[in-house]
Structure 1
Amino acid sequence: MDNTKQINNILKAPAPHMVGDGFRVHNFFPGGYEIDMSPFFLMDYGSKIEFSARKEPRGVGVHPHRGFETVTIAYHGAVAHHDSSGNSGVIYPGDVQWMTAASGVLHKEYHETNYSLTGGPFQMVQLWVNLPAKNKMGKPGYQAIKQADMAHVDLPENGGKIEIIAGHYEGIKGNANTFSPIELYNARLNKGGKATFNFPENFNTGLMVIEGSIKVNGSETAVADNFIHFKNKGKEIKVEALENSVVLVLSGEPIDEPIAQYGPFLMNTEAEIHQAIEDYNQGRFGYLEE
């Protein structure tokens, strides 16, 4: 019996748009393609771009979130974060910032000062991870995951390594704590390197090719800036790097609850959206200086 998780589609990057003046992103979902990746609600992929040197850092000013988590993964460049819960930090290439907005935070994201002054390549992924209804109004949180501290598994025959951001790979647990079952890895593969992944059939699964090119399940080829979306059939995915490659691996158990979304709010009902807007307008998300 074939246990291979079948490919649904290999998707090219949609046309980019700017978020603030610092983030040029391709929105693969929910805007670019109508695919179900729950518990991942949104994926903005910032393909590699060169930013010129600038004294005043580019970025996104103060804005609110409620009802979900933002996960920012850096590949090139550096981003500084501040939020109204008092959390702040900088992520550099290989680092991950996992912010739980939950009941509500204000935050801002900017190019880190020194990076802004020199400019250079910039490449990031931001995911919005939905929260179960019971956790949407919980306490905000923040997890800073440095690449140097990240759990990883070295692949055989100098094939590269799997960095485990969340979930488990070959029995090794990732650094991030999650509110629903999520597998999130960076597969850093050397040319010819091979990796096998196993996920439950009902988990929504995708691969984002950040760099290089890969062969999937021995047949289909995907190149940088492609997203591979899988069917909910089979469990096993085999990946082989045709050149040195970086692949973001996403898989998670769907959250089978209604969704109401308005801008930066991701709730279950329209009434909860109206409440979020009122709470924001009344200053209940705290204060954060521009």
Structure 2
Amino acid sequence: MENKIKSVFSILDAPQPHMVGDGFRVSNFFPGGYKIKMSPFFLLDYNAKVLLPPTDELRGVGVHPHRGFETVTIAYHGAVAHHDSAGNSGIIYPGDVQWMTAAGGILHKEYHEKEFSAKGGPFQMVQLWVNLPAKDKMSKPKYQAIEHKDLAIAELTDNGGEVEIIAGTYNGVTGPATTFTPLHVYNAKIKAGKSAVFNFPAAYNTGFLVIEGEISINGQENAGASQFIYFKNDGEEISVEAKEDSLILVLSGEPIQEPIAQYGPFLMNNQQEIKQAISDYNEGKFGYLE
């Protein structure tokens, strides 16, 4: 029996961008821009490609807390330096992924890397917030630094390109990131005129962000750069044909069927837990970071 097609619910244009700190000009596709069901993915910020002039000033986001979820930063152009209160630090270069499990609580800051800032150049990034189930929200913070060379690669047939697997599995190839709930995160690089097929359970919430190029989905609808394709929960198979060389961020995951309470950088299950997070932060329980 053939898999039923997972059909397109809507193709969403990038919302009006806003600044996060003084270093990231992002379009928030969800939960702000569009009220779509993408659990376990709670937030998608996209910094579309922008050419930054050289500067000696520090651009970015200062010290801020997180609790109850994971942040996933995917770099396409530019470089970001980061530090957290657990003692982790590093630089995310093009092609790299920073997967930070804030969980029980962490302080974090991120800035454009010094050498990149001094030279200037194209800058393009995605940040995701991945929700955690209640049983894991207060687990110990951890950090996965995934360099581009460590991504798992699945070659497409007919010399059609490749799929870089960050998390989850594609065509039997599994990505390096460990996750708390079943989910898939890929960068699909499809050459002009070539195609790829993706299969996800019908119940999984699924969306594609077109980073570069133009694609046809299921032979029916087209989407271009900076558009988000939001799928229905009605089937399993998605076919994509690239009208030109294209790069797509593929997201699919099993929804977490739990209530959500959000306050700024805290993502919990109820208001009492939010109050506790604010209290713990004010009491210095998230650690210390200058």
Q: How far has the Cα of 1:272 moved from its partner?
A: 0.3
Alignment of structure 1 residues 54-69 onto 2, 5 Å: 54-69=55-70
CA distance in 2 between counterparts of 1:159 and 1:92 reads 26
Q: How far has the Cα of 1:192 moved from its partner?
A: 1.5
AA of the residue aligned to 1:239: V
- In the other structure, the counterpart of 1:99 is 100
- In the other structure, the counterpart of 2:166 is 165
Structure 2 SS opposite 1:117 = helix
- In the other structure, the counterpart of 1:226 is 227
CA distance in 2 between counterparts of 1:2 and 1:183 reads 18
Confirm or deny: 8 A CA contact 2:83 2:109 kept in the other structure.
Answer: yes
Q: How far has the Cα of 1:57 moved from its partner?
A: 2.3
CA distance in 2 between counterparts of 1:117 and 1:5 reads 46
Superposed CA deviations along residues 188-238 of structure 1, whole A, max 9, x for unmatched, are 111112110000000000000000000100110000000000000010000
Structure 1 SS opposite 2:281 = helix
Provide structure 2 residue ranges, at least 5 long, that are not aligned to the other structure: none
Q: How far has the Cα of 1:41 moved from its partner?
A: 0.3
CA distance in 2 between counterparts of 1:221 and 1:93 reads 27
AA of the residue aligned to 1:227: F
CA distance in 1 between counterparts of 2:3 and 2:11 reads 21
Alignment of structure 1 residues 69-80 onto 2, 5 Å: 69-80=70-81
Q: Across the two proteins, how many residue pairs are aligned to each other? A: 289
Alignment of structure 1 residues 113-128 onto 2, 5 Å: 113-128=114-129
CA distance in 1 between counterparts of 2:256 and 2:144 reads 22
- In the other structure, the counterpart of 1:176 is 177
CA distance in 1 between counterparts of 2:80 and 2:166 reads 18
User: So what's the TM-score if we normalise by structure 2?
Assistant: 0.98
Matched, 1:90 2:91: yes
User: So what's the TM-score if we normalise by structure 1?
Assistant: 0.98
Indicate the RMSD between aligned Cα atoms, in angstroms.
0.8
- In the other structure, the counterpart of 1:145 is 146
AA of the residue aligned to 1:23: F
Structure 1 SS opposite 2:158 = coil
Confirm or deny: 8 A CA contact 2:3 2:237 kept in the other structure.
Answer: no
CA distance in 2 between counterparts of 1:154 and 1:162 reads 6
CA distance in 1 between counterparts of 2:90 and 2:10 reads 36
CA distance in 2 between counterparts of 1:113 and 1:4 reads 47
- In the other structure, the counterpart of 1:108 is 109
Structure 2 SS opposite 1:63 = strand
CA distance in 1 between counterparts of 2:49 and 2:281 reads 34
Q: How far has the Cα of 1:2 moved from its partner?
A: 6.6
CA distance in 1 between counterparts of 2:148 and 2:213 reads 20
CA distance in 1 between counterparts of 2:157 and 2:200 reads 21
- In the other structure, the counterpart of 2:283 is 282
AA of the residue aligned to 1:49: V
Moved more, 154-163 or 226-235: 154-163
- In the other structure, the counterpart of 1:246 is 247
CA distance in 2 between counterparts of 1:2 and 1:25 reads 36
CA distance in 2 between counterparts of 1:198 and 1:156 reads 16
Moved more, 220-229 or 89-98: 89-98
CA distance in 2 between counterparts of 1:254 and 1:150 reads 24
- In the other structure, the counterpart of 1:4 is 5
Moved more, 60-69 or 143-152: 143-152
